[in-house]
Amino acid sequence: MEHDAHAHHDHSAHSTHADHETHSGHEGHEGHQHGGHHEGHGAHHTPGKASWSMAAKATLHCLTGCAIGEVLGMIIGTALGWGNMETMILAIVLAFFFGYALTLRGILAAGVDFKTAFKVALAADTLSIAVMEIIDNGVIALWPGAMDAHLSDPVFWIVLAIALAAAFVITVPVNKWMIGRGKGHAVVHQYHH
Q: What is the CA radius of gyration of the chain?
A: 24
pLDDT higher than threshold 50 for residue 140: yes
pLDDT higher than threshold 70 for residue 93: yes
Separation of alpha carbons 52 and 91, rounded Å? 28
Q: How confident is the model at residue 167 (pLDDT cuts 50, 70, 90)?
A: very high
Average pLDDT over residues 52-62: 85
73 touches 93 (CB < 8 A):
yes
What is the DSSP annotation of 137-190? HHHHHHSTTTTT--TTSHHHHHHHHHHHHHHHHHHHHHHHHHHHTT-THHHHHG
pLDDT higher than threshold 60 for residue 145: yes
Separation of alpha carbons 165 and 188, rounded Å? 24
pLDDT higher than threshold 60 for residue 111: yes
61 touches 124 (CB < 8 A):
no
What pTM did the predictor assign?
0.69
For helices 154-180 and 52-79, what crossing angle results, to 10°?
140
Separation of alpha carbons 128 and 151, rounded Å? 26
90 touches 157 (CB < 8 A):
no
Q: Looking at residue 5, what is its pLDDT?
A: 44
Which sequence spans correspond to the domains of the chain?
1-45, 50-192
Q: Looking at residue 138, what is its pLDDT?
A: 93
pLDDT higher than threshold 90 for residue 112: no
168 touches 63 (CB < 8 A):
yes
Least confident of 5-19, 87-101, 120-134: 5-19
Q: Please state, rounded to an integer, the average pLDDT across all residues of the chain.
A: 76
Which range has highest mean pLDDT (6-15, 126-135, 178-187)?
Answer: 126-135
